[in-house]
Structure 1
Amino acid sequence: MMKNKSIISMTLIATLTFGTVSSLLLQTESAAASNVTNITKASQSESTSTYKTASIKSFKLIRTNKTIKIYEKASTKSNVMDSIKNDQGVVVLKNYNNGWSKVSLQFDTGYIQSKYLYSAKANKKNHYAMNTKKTYSYYSPENNGSGFKSYSKATFKKLYSGNKTLTDFWYFNSEPDANGRMEYETSKGLYSGYKDIGIATLAVRYPVKLNSSWKGLDGQTLKIVDTNKMVKTKAGTFNKVVVVKEGKGKNYSYYAPKVGLIKQTYNGKTLNELSAIH
């Protein structure tokens, strides 16, 4: 069953059926807390050699003035798996000479007509993507007292061994349910999406401008409401943070330069915040 596609709300419900991964055991709250480090100066002044984002080689954007269908097979007579709109993106696994491309979709594969795909240009300045050379730890206060752990790790994986359609994504080890998030930084902006859907939309539009707005995956409005905010987290204090508001509620995502997502709020309450980076 398809889930709500909203960027922030998906954080609450998106799951990956990865099973137990012993090498990615979750930190206990006390262990995570003991590793909290003030990373403000170190992270925000990192040189290019220590900062790396996900490759956009296989990430393709959609160019169309209409909604495009993604099929189960390389035929318009096949079952429709999902639909995609202009300037949304997918990961292409293989191109065929018959005018079709196989894409990663819903933990599986789908097919889209290649004529609607185009390569994204790389972003060369003002980065707000997560650093793939680092491991991120997040604290989720609303998980306290629930069956979910309050601390989780996010590590970048080039390929998931259990499912070869899952490439270049962030594995959030939020036991008992894990979730995977893809993130691609282009000249148009930072694209993000969950792997159980497979479609990425703009999380931050570039160039970053106050009051810049765009539509999300479900048609909700996203808007940059601050470009120079100071934000305190368990991991430290960050400057020049970009704040993106989603929809009509008090739903915000916070992105620090050369660090990426450091905090999210949902209905005015902290959903998660960065607790450490290694």
Structure 2
Amino acid sequence: MKNKSILSKTLIATLAIGTALSFFTPVNNAAAENVTNVTKVTNSKHTPTYKTASISNFKLIRANKTVKIYEKSSTKSNILDSIKNGQGVVVLKKFNNGWSKVSLQYGTGYIPTKYLYSPKTNSNTHYAMNTRNTYSYFSPENRGSGFSTYYKANFKNKYSANKTLTDFWYFNSEPDANGRMEYETSKGLYSGYKDIGIATLAIKYPVKLNSSWKGLDGQTLKIVATNKTVKTKAGLFKKVVVVQDGQGKNFSYYAPQIGLIKQTFNGKTYTELSAID
């Protein structure tokens, strides 16, 4: 389940949780408790509200060893997965017996609460996607395949058929629709896929050229540009941060106050932002 980096070319297992993708519940804009308000500073009289996913239930691991995630709240139960120091999970419930139930692989798992801590909110430049918007992306690799070359990403507060899926981005890309969680903290922007349930740094804060860290699969991620101008179908973006994933020509591009605008694999664009609504 964990053989999937931030730039996974195979692009994420389908959200097949016993029901069709089209049955996703629409975003509930009234659920204000699920978002964090951020004010975008502009030179105009209008200062639009910018929202990112709330980090209230997002916890990071603090441990000098790999922490096991169990099927039940007992070290004698089956081991479902493991998580490393600095990675994150979504806590569904904290118990008085020293265990916390977390969202994991479209289901749940249990971690000793002593290894979890709450990160601080980022108060500097934001590179997370704005949960108020709908993002449209273009995937050139789908040309001639019978699948659509355009798809959308919408923020979902919850998925009614599976209560373990909360506060995530639904990318309805073909043929591999996927659910991605994104949490911005003072330590950086964390990202991960719901079919795994573990989030890893996508961008390390503060943003510094040549800053590096380890990804989910142990690969090195590195900031290779902090002030790049990038053109996509959605327009021209400035001061873009570029993160290299591994040793190849695999890159993710993040625009300030916008979020993910482009990704490449082996030097070829396989997704880019085409519009924001």
TM-score normalised by L of structure 1: 0.89
Q: Does the aligned pair in 1 maintain the 2:15–2:21 contact within 8 Å?
A: no
- The C-alpha deviation readout for 1:64-119, integer Å capped at 9, x for no partner, is 01000000100001101100000100000000000000000000000000000000
Task: State the partner residue of 1:273.
Answer: 272
User: Could you tell me how far 1:5 is from its partner in structure 2?
Assistant: 2.1
CA distance in 2 between partners of 1:277 and 1:231 (Å) = 16
148 and 212 in structure 1: CA distance in 2 versus 1, 3 angstrom threshold: same
User: Could you tell me how far 1:139 is from its partner in structure 2?
Assistant: 0.4
Task: State the partner residue of 2:102.
Answer: 103
User: Could you tell me how far 1:137 is from its partner in structure 2?
Assistant: 0.4
CA distance in 1 between partners of 2:262 and 2:158 (Å) = 26
Question: 1:174 and 2:173 equivalent?
Answer: yes
Q: Does the aligned pair in 2 maintain the 1:224–1:243 contact within 8 Å?
A: yes
Q: Does the aligned pair in 1 maintain the 2:191–2:199 contact within 8 Å?
A: yes
Counterpart of 1:142, as a letter, is: E
User: Could you tell me how far 1:4 is from its partner in structure 2?
Assistant: 1.8
SS in 2 for 1:12: coil
Name stretches of at least 5 consecutive residues in structure 1 with no aligned partner: 26-42
Counterpart of 2:270, as a letter, is: L
263 and 85 in structure 1: CA distance in 2 versus 1, 3 angstrom threshold: same
CA distance in 1 between partners of 2:206 and 2:171 (Å) = 28
CA distance in 2 between partners of 1:66 and 1:150 (Å) = 43
Counterpart of 1:220, as a letter, is: Q
User: Could you tell me how far 1:178 is from its partner in structure 2?
Assistant: 1.6
User: Could you tell me how far 1:13 is from its partner in structure 2?
Assistant: 3.5
Name stretches of at least 5 consecutive residues in structure 2 with no aligned partner: 27-39
Task: State the partner residue of 1:39.
Answer: none
Task: State the partner residue of 2:121.
Answer: 122
Question: 1:241 and 2:240 equivalent?
Answer: yes
User: Could you tell me how far 1:48 is from its partner in structure 2?
Assistant: 5.9
Task: State the partner residue of 1:85.
Answer: 84
CA distance in 2 between partners of 1:251 and 1:24 (Å) = 33
Q: Does the aligned pair in 2 maintain the 1:44–1:257 contact within 8 Å?
A: no
- The C-alpha deviation readout for 1:122-168, integer Å capped at 9, x for no partner, is 00111000000000000000111114321110000010111110000
Task: State the partner residue of 1:131.
Answer: 130
Task: State the partner residue of 2:33.
Answer: none
User: Could you tell me how far 1:243 is from its partner in structure 2?
Assistant: 0.2
Task: State the partner residue of 2:20.
Answer: 19
CA distance in 2 between partners of 1:233 and 1:218 (Å) = 29
**Larger RCO of the pair (alpha carbons < 8 Å, separation 6+):** 1
CA distance in 2 between partners of 1:58 and 1:20 (Å) = 25
SS in 2 for 1:57: coil
RMSD: 1.9
CA distance in 1 between partners of 2:176 and 2:210 (Å) = 35
SS in 1 for 2:129: coil
Bigger helix fraction = 1
TM-score normalised by L of structure 2: 0.90
User: Could you tell me how far 1:20 is from its partner in structure 2?
Assistant: 3.9
CA distance in 1 between partners of 2:6 and 2:207 (Å) = 19
CA distance in 1 between partners of 2:13 and 2:261 (Å) = 19
CA distance in 2 between partners of 1:185 and 1:112 (Å) = 22
